[in-house]
Amino acid sequence: MLRLVFIIVLIAIPIGAQAQKMWEIGVVGEIEKDSLFHSAGFTCLIDNAGRLFSPKNVSDEQFESKLAMIKASKITLMGVNVFMPGDMKLVGPAVDEQRILAHATTVFKRCKAAGVKMVVWGSGGARRIPDGFDPATARNQFIDIARKVAPIAKKYVVHCELAEKEGRSAPGVHHQDFVPYFQMMKKIKYKGKVIIECQWKDVDQQAATAYKEIEKQIKAVF
């Protein structure tokens, strides 16, 4: 099964020679666990767009309830991932462009209401090329729809997501060394956030350890 990968990379180069500030550390998880993540030390969070903002899953009335929860959260919801639901095909013979654009408009509108300034496209199911479909045609379809979605999105926030390579584990499980990556990020004057996006075995037990592990390694380069 062939898959398309859509990646936007933006590097902001600051003006002047001001000392760099240490990056904030965030986590991918559910905002309902805000107290847990806050007590672990995380300052920001990325949740799932489908369950918070998607018009397919969340009515206007339900969104108002979720909005109140987001605004009362102890941790900042900086972004959402899984922008497009898996059955909203972006490539192949069943692309519904108007549905895609309507979905994107609602998600961005709700993001703005919630103060969320970053949407991670992701959406592997929506991007997956159907068996037997021409990859070149699928690529052109994806480029075309991305160009049409882009004007709807007003702002992008750059961040770094990480997990340990072995088993996509939480930092601290295998004690993977991220320092060489952090050194390179510091060298290019990276100013975004560092987000833990991993496979939790027990988030209640691992969150604080993961935060401390990454905080320790970031401090090693500052």
- Domains of the chain, earliest start first: 25-159+193-198 (3.20.20.150)
Residues β-bridged to residue 45: 27, 77
Residue 159 dihedral angles phi and psi, to the nearest 5°: -150, 170
CB 107 within 8 A of CB 49: yes
C-alpha distances out from residue 43 to 14, 65, 193, Å: 23, 23, 10
Residue with tokens 């380069």: 221
Q: How far is 179 from 27, CA to CA, in rounded Å?
A: 18
Dihedral over alpha carbons 63, 64, 66, 70 (to 10 degrees): 130
Per-residue pLDDT at 15 exceeds 70: no
Per-residue pLDDT at 102 exceeds 80: yes
Per-residue pLDDT at 16 exceeds 60: no
Most confident of 70-74, 138-142, 165-169: 70-74
Q: What pTM did the predictor assign?
A: 0.70
Per-residue pLDDT at 88 exceeds 70: yes
Dihedral over alpha carbons 85, 89, 95, 96 (to 10 degrees): -10
User: In percent, how much of the chain has pLDDT > 90?
Assistant: 63
Average the pLDDT over each of 24-33, 144-153, 198-207 and give the range with the smallest value. 144-153
